[in-house]
Amino acid sequence: MITNRLQWLIAPVVLLCLFVGSARAADQVLAVVDTGRVLREFYKTEAADDEIDRQKKEGMAKLRDMQDELKKQEKEFEVLREAAQNRALKDDVRQQKLEESEDKLIELKESEQKVVTFFEEQQQALREQSMRMRKRLLDEIEEAITIYARGQGLMLVVDSGVGVAEMRKMVVFSDKSIDISAAIIEILNRKAKKEGER
């Protein structure tokens, strides 16, 4: 899908480059950048990934602590349940142990739900943090591309990066002078006016 989008985008761009005025014809007007590669090799990416890994390890340590507490509660529940079923104990003691085991079971189920909720929230927070960091890095990369493109007199910069294109635009930079939107609108509106005159 991405390669199809890229092909459909590059064909008109190549045609545009062929028809650019003779003063610009000798100049390079089109450039391609692999933002995926730039992102991987950008020094800030490693720091961002390290921060996500640090947060992931902290979350996993807390999750292990919660799971250890859960195992302890499970053992307490098992002891109470066995005591409630022990025929050697008096009925009133067994009844008390049964009530305690039921309370412990409720507590255990709540703790299990807390572990599940914590894990899901931790995963969601890490995904969101990763996306925010990635967006900031890609915005910074796009700004650098724009500055470079303007400095080099480029008219258009197309992203060839696979995997990053889903999150970003295919055209990273374009000079306003190659925007044909107004001409297309005029043609379409002129056509509509002619149809209205009939």
Beta strands 156-159 and 30-33 are parallel
Output the pTM of the full model. Answer: 0.64
By C-alpha distance, which of 167, 179, 93, 176 is closest to 136?
167
**Tally of domains in the chain:** 1
pLDDT, tens digit, for every residue of 13-47?
544 444 444 344 446 688 888 888 888 888 999 99
Q: Is residue 189 a contact partner of residue 63, using CB atoms and an 8 Å limit?
A: no
Domain span at residue 89 reads 2-197
pLDDT digits (tens, 9 = 90+) for 113-172: 999 999 999 999 999 999 999 999 989 888 898 888 888 888 888 887 655 545 566 777
